């Protein structure tokens, strides 16, 4: 699957990279859906011997291909929320030299990056690669509620029901983009929703 080229944007918008194997004693790879393909792209027997993979398929069927790489540990989680306690435990027990690789959707990478940063890894030392859906995890700046997997702009806040404009303004702390009311001055005057990158 080809990778999506995000258009250039403001400085706040994260720029995702391309995974590469790095020197380190332990490797933690966290992926959802099509992110598995990025892991398969760098997997070697030597790397996998020291790797713990946490994978959230979200309907994709890459789990067997990942398992076949013989990682030191493999965990398949139903959702990110169900996997986060395991991610925290792995980071809590880890020592310096751990390499973190995040790949898949922006929501997955952002939330897992927040956990790794909380555990003490500088965000610039965490590798990322975007794969799959370009949907965003959005925070409503008015009610602070998070709406996952937003694909259109504008969209309706799943918490307070306001019509929100999708901004590129991003928070690493919240792992979310900012959604701002689009019809505050002229209630009801809401443009037709279209894809975020259309």
What is the contact surface with other proteins in residues (CB under 8 A)? Answer: 22-25, 91-92, 94-99, 119-122, 124-125
Report the C-alpha gap between 112 and 71 in whole angstroms. Answer: 19
Residues 148/37, Cβ–Cβ less than 8 Å = no
In the complex, what is the shortest distance from the CB of residue 76 to other proteins, in angstroms, rounded to a whole number? Answer: 24
Least Å distance between CB 137 and other proteins?
24
Strand ranges (E), 110-162: 127-130, 136-140, 146-150, 152-153, 155-156
Compute the least distance from the CB of residue 39 to other proteins, in Å. Answer: 18
Strands 176-181 and 163-171, sheet pairing? antiparallel
Q: How near is the Cβ of 27 to other proteins at its closest, in Å?
A: 9
Q: Is the peptide bond before 172 cis (omega within 30 degrees of 0)?
A: no
Query: In the complex with other proteins, which residue's Cβ is closer, 84 or 196?
Result: 84
**Contact between 89 and 65 (Cβ < 8 Å):** no
Residue among 84 and 156 whose Cβ is closer to other proteins: 84
What's the min distance (Å) between Cβ of 92 and other proteins?
8
Sheet of 146-150: strand order equals 146-150, 136-140, 176-181, 163-171, 155-156
CA 53-56-59 angle, 5° bins: 135
If the CB atoms of residues 81 and 125 are measured against other proteins, the closer one turns out to be: 125
159 within 8 A of 147, measured Cβ to Cβ = yes
Q: Which is nearer to other proteins, 25 or 67 (CB)?
A: 25
Give the shortest CB-139-to-other proteins separation in angstroms.
23
Separation CA 62–CA 58 (nearest Å): 10
Judged by beta carbon, residue 22 or residue 194, the one nearer other proteins is 22
Cβ nearer to other proteins, comparing 2 with 92: 92
């Amino acid at each position: 699957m080809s990778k999506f080229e995000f258009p250039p944007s403001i400085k706040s918008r994260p720029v995702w990279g391309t995974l590469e194997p790095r020197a380190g004693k332990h490797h933690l790879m966290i992926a959802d859906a099509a992110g598995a393909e990025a892991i398969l792209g760098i997997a070697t027997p030597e790397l996998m011997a020291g790797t713990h993979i946490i994978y959230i398929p979200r309907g994709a069927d890459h789990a067997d291909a990942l398992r076949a790489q013989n990682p030191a540990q493999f965990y398949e989680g139903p959702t990110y929320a169900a996997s986060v306690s395991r991610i925290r435990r792995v980071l809590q027990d880890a020592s310096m030299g751990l390499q973190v690789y995040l790949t898949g959707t922006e929501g997955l990478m952002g939330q897992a990056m927040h956990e790794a940063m909380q555990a003490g890894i500088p965000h610039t030392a965490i590798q990322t690669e975007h794969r799959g859906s370009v949907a965003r995890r959005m925070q409503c700046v008015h009610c602070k509620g998070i709406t996952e997997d937003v694909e259109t702009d504008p969209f309706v806040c799943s918490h307070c029901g306001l019509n929100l404009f999708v901004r590129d303004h991003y928070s690493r702390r919240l792992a979310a983009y900012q959604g701002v009311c689009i019809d505050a001055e002229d209630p009801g005057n809401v443009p037709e929703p279209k894809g975020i990158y259309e």
